[in-house]
């Protein structure tokens, strides 16, 4: 099983996120959040932020299996952009 570290900066350039993409025994991927910006007073519960957690840390909540690293990175990028909108404007996703 592979583990890949990567970063993502939002399109605005304002926020930087760090991830650990972890391959599972099934071959699917989980997007663990290594670091991210503060929510600046917005609710930061699992539901509001679309994050779950397990013994390895917090990860991006996604309903479908992520079969490839490429897809996992696409999901991470989308989550970052939506998270930035939530932090800046309170826009729920």
Q: State pLDDT tens for residues 41-86.
A: 999 999 999 999 999 999 999 999 999 999 999 999 999 999 999 9
What average pLDDT does the chain have?
Answer: 98
pLDDT bin (cut points 50, 70, 90) of residue 36 is very high
State how far the Cα of 84 lies from the Cα of 34, in Å rounded to an integer: 16
Burial class of residue 3 (count of CB atoms within 10 Å of its CB; 0-12, 13-18, 19+)? exposed
Task: Find the domain containing 42 and state its range.
Answer: 3-89
Helix spans in 1-93 (H): 46-49, 69-89
Look-up: residue for tokens 């970052």? Answer: 80
Whole-model pTM?
A: 0.95
Domain count, the chain: 1
């Amino acid at each position: 099983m592979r583990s890949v570290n990567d970063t993502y900066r939002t399109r605005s350039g304002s926020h930087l996120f760090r991830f650990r993409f972890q391959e599972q025994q099934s071959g699917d991927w989980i997007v663990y959040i290594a670091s991210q910006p503060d929510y600046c007073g917005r609710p930061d519960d699992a539901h509001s932020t679309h994050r779950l957690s397990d013994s390895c840390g917090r990860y991006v909540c996604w309903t479908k299996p992520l079969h490839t690293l490429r897809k996992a990175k696409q999901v991470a990028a989308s989550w970052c952009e939506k998270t930035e909108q939530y932090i800046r404007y309170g826009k729920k996703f």
